Structure 1
Amino acid sequence: MQYVWFIWSLIILALWGVVYLMKKDSRREMLKMSWITMPFGLTEPLFVPEYWHPPSLFDLAIKTGFDIESLIFSFAIGGIGTVLYNLIFKRRYVEIPHTERKHARHRLHLYILFVPAVVFLVLALFTPLNHIYCGIAAMFLGGMATLYCRPDLKTKIWISGFLFTALYFVYFGSILPFYPDYVELFWNLENLSDILVTGIPIEELLFAFTFGMYWSGLYEHLYWRKLMRPITMS
């Protein structure tokens, strides 16, 4: 099982490549968000070994807490999470006019961007919660904060949560037929809820849902973009 995490991180990267090829009009946005997301793979020591202790290339996860796979995985899901909704519902980005940016809701724009980081730090420092729950709560509240500032993204944020969960369910579930003991061996279930959904820890699915919610609207929030249907010639 030494290379399972590496192989499946390459699989999600290959899926990223397929989406990148299919969504030609969003490649720049997809790349931007992938590069922004990739450094979050460096937070792996917060989760190893308290949450899980995966076998990784050169045994880096066990020896250092860091691993190469997390960087690949974070890069891939960052881009996919950003454009998955747009790909399915055929939306394109347009810039928000400067006059519209002066709306009262946007006065807290910069502060709202930091909501997930603040929530995570508060929970991680002042509660005994496993860091996975801190991350789930941080992304959920980040998504709610984005909804306040950008109500136009309501549909995308909620639907993207379910879309990414469905995608992640298939992705994670594809490991289990080949390695049915993978979760039992490498997740610290005694530190978690020990609730499994067809063999998948519910924490993984909650992570997927809240990530899909928050990350789906982050590009629009960061770069003042909104979604439109593509112009078609009749």
Structure 2
Amino acid sequence: MKFAWLIWSILILGLWGLVYWRKPDFRKEMLQISWVTMFFGLTEPLFVPEYWAPPSLFDLANKTGFDIESLLFSFAIGGLGVVLYRLVYPMSISPMIDSDKLHGRHQLHRIILFLPAAIFTVLLVFTSLNPIYSGVIALFLGAVATLYCRPDLKAKIWIGGLLFTGLYFVYFGSLLLVFPSYVDAYWNLADLTGIKLAGIPMEELMFAFSFGMYWSGLYEHVYWYTLNPKEIANGQSVSI
């Protein structure tokens, strides 16, 4: 189990690479969001060992709290999370027209973008919650706030959360098929709910859903894009 975290980080990075290769239209947004998301891997010392303590390359997590695997993993899920909805429901994006940007709800645009970081920091400093719960709450509330600012993205945000949870369930489940005792060995279960679904800690699925929600609408929200149903052969459109 020593290299499990490294191997599965590389596997999901490989999935990122497959999507990047097969979907040229997604490359710009995948790269832009992935590079930003990668730096969230630097928050790993907040979660080790409070949430988990996996073996890492060069034993970095144990020695410093940081690890290379978290950077690879964060890079990969950032790009996948932002395009997963459009992989399932084909749509193009186009810049939002200037008149729509003047709507009153967009006055909170920048505040809402930084809301998850603010909520996470407050919960981390002023509560005794395990950091994973602070992260889940921050991401979920950030997604809900995004729904206020961008109601046109509601399907992408809610369904994006479900889709990413499904992907993450398969991803994590594959790890447990090879290393069935991995969770019991390296998660701080005494500080968590102890609830598991097919061996996967409930907290992991909560993270997947909240992350999928927030990241699903992130590119369109940050860069002022709207979704457009793609035309199909008979001239009708595909929408959800």
The interval holding the TM-score normalised by the smaller chain is over 0.9
| Distance in 2 separating the partners of 1:197 and 1:118 | 30
In the other structure, the counterpart of 1:64 is: 64
In the other structure, the counterpart of 2:3 is: 3
User: What code does the residue aligned with 1:94 have?
Assistant: S
Cα contact 1:26–1:92 (8 A) shared by 2: no
TM-score for the superposition, normalised by structure 2: 0.96
In the other structure, the counterpart of 2:53 is: 53
| Distance in 2 separating the partners of 1:21 and 1:229 | 22
3-state SS of paired residue (1:228): strand
CA drift at 1:233: 5.6
In the other structure, the counterpart of 1:85 is: 85
| Distance in 2 separating the partners of 1:163 and 1:43 | 25
User: What code does the residue aligned with 1:182 have?
Assistant: Y
3-state SS of paired residue (2:98): coil
| Distance in 2 separating the partners of 1:99 and 1:12 | 40
3-state SS of paired residue (2:226): strand
Equivalent positions of 1:76-115 (< 5 A) are: 76-115=76-115
What are the superposed Cα offsets for residues 209-228 of structure 1, whole Å, 9 maximum, x if unpaired? 00000000011110000111
What are the superposed Cα offsets for residues 38-76 of structure 1, whole Å, 9 maximum, x if unpaired? 000000000000000000000000000000000000000
| Distance in 1 separating the partners of 2:129 and 2:77 | 25
What are the superposed Cα offsets for residues 108-155 of structure 1, whole Å, 9 maximum, x if unpaired? 111111110111011111000000000000000000000000000000
CA drift at 1:232: 4.4
CA drift at 1:203: 0.2
| Distance in 1 separating the partners of 2:230 and 2:148 | 26
In the other structure, the counterpart of 1:18 is: 18
3-state SS of paired residue (1:160): helix
Cα contact 1:143–1:214 (8 A) shared by 2: yes
| Distance in 2 separating the partners of 1:23 and 1:86 | 11
Equivalent positions of 1:137-148 (< 5 A) are: 137-148=137-148
Unaligned runs of 5+ in 2: 235-240
| Distance in 2 separating the partners of 1:93 and 1:23 | 14
What are the superposed Cα offsets for residues 161-203 of structure 1, whole Å, 9 maximum, x if unpaired? 1000000000000011211110000000001001111100000
TM-score for the superposition, normalised by structure 1: 0.98
In the other structure, the counterpart of 1:230 is: 230
| Distance in 1 separating the partners of 2:132 and 2:213 | 16
In the other structure, the counterpart of 2:237 is: none
3-state SS of paired residue (2:14): helix
| Distance in 2 separating the partners of 1:151 and 1:61 | 40
3-state SS of paired residue (2:211): helix
Cα contact 1:3–1:57 (8 A) shared by 2: yes
State, as a whole percentage, how many aligned pairs show the same letter: 62
CA drift at 1:16: 0.4
| Distance in 2 separating the partners of 1:174 and 1:140 | 26
| Distance in 1 separating the partners of 2:160 and 2:232 | 24
| Distance in 2 separating the partners of 1:219 and 1:194 | 34
User: What code does the residue aligned with 1:178 have?
Assistant: V
In the other structure, the counterpart of 1:182 is: 182
In the other structure, the counterpart of 1:126 is: 126
| Distance in 2 separating the partners of 1:85 and 1:156 | 6
